Copies of this chain bind each other. A is one copy, B any other.
Amino acid sequence: TRRGVPEAILGDGKTAAETASLAATAVETTGRAIVTRTDDDQQRAVRTRLADDHPAAEVTVHERSGVVVAHDADFEPPDVAATVGVVTAGTSDAIPAGEAAVVAGEMGATVERVEDVGVAALTRIVDQLDRLRETDVLVVAAGREGALPTVVAGLVNTPVIGLPVSTGYGYGGEGEAALAGMLQSCSVLSVVNVDAGFVAGAQAGLIARAVGSARGEDDDE
């Protein structure tokens, strides 16, 4: 794992058998497997295969986001003394936001989920401000016009990573308006590509690691 960023297996476009086989190899060689964008078949195949090959491994299926994680019995997860917040505007943001949450968690950060706080109903965001302000870094997912990261970044002091989601149709649909809006944001943000939940979560994980290890520096003294 370069930079502590775990390798992940992309389920999209692979057969259930291929996916299961790659997952088994990952557990074999690194003690862990992370598989993203899986469907039911792939999830079942991974479970079955790991039950055979690595019966001691613990397998977690995140259904809404399609991510599968397996830890072998002796896998020692990293631990980072920092919190990553993952915020969504609506249910259609579940897949990339879920990927971000999983990868940040697997990098050792504590993950805080804040859901369904779309910009068309500001009070819901304001109600969550305390939770948002307690994180060290935020991933904010949003589709269609993608305005949520701008609004959130106007309310907190933590760094915000915008994660555009491929919702919407017509002009600016499929995440284009969201990406463009986040790049044009009046608030200070950095962004990742449309649906790149894994990248957003990993970047948040890297920032959490930097903060967490700064926190720990005095411990070493």
State the A residues within 8 Å of B (CB): 2-5, 82, 89, 118-122, 126, 136-137, 144-147, 150-151, 153-159, 161, 164, 166, 168-173, 175-196, 199-200, 202-203, 206-207, 209-212, 214-215, 217-218
A33 to B118, CA, bound (A): 22
Given the interface pairs A136-B210, A218-B218, the reply to whether A176 lies near B171 with Cβ below 8 Å is yes
When the two chains form their complex, are residues B214 and A122 in contact, meaning their CB atoms are under 8 A apart? no
10 A-B pairs closest in CB distance: A172-B180, A170-B194, A147-B147, A177-B180, A170-B193, A190-B190, A218-B218, A145-B181, A214-B214, A183-B193
What would be 11 A-B contacts, judged by CB atoms less than 8 Å apart?
A3-B188, A145-B147, A147-B181, A158-B206, A170-B193, A171-B194, A172-B181, A172-B193, A188-B203, A189-B192, A189-B203
Known: A3-B157, A155-B122, A180-B180. A186 touches B144 (CB 8 A): yes
A5-B188 in contact (CB<8A): yes
Which single member of B150, B207, B217 contacts A147 (CB below 8 Å)?
B150
CA distance A3 to B138 in the complex (A): 14
Q: How distant is the Cα of A139 from the Cα of B213 in the complex, in angstroms?
A: 20
Q: Do residues B171 and A193 form an inter-chain contact, with CB atoms below 8 A?
A: yes
Collect the chain B residues with CB atoms within 8 Å of residue A157's CB: 3-4, 206, 209
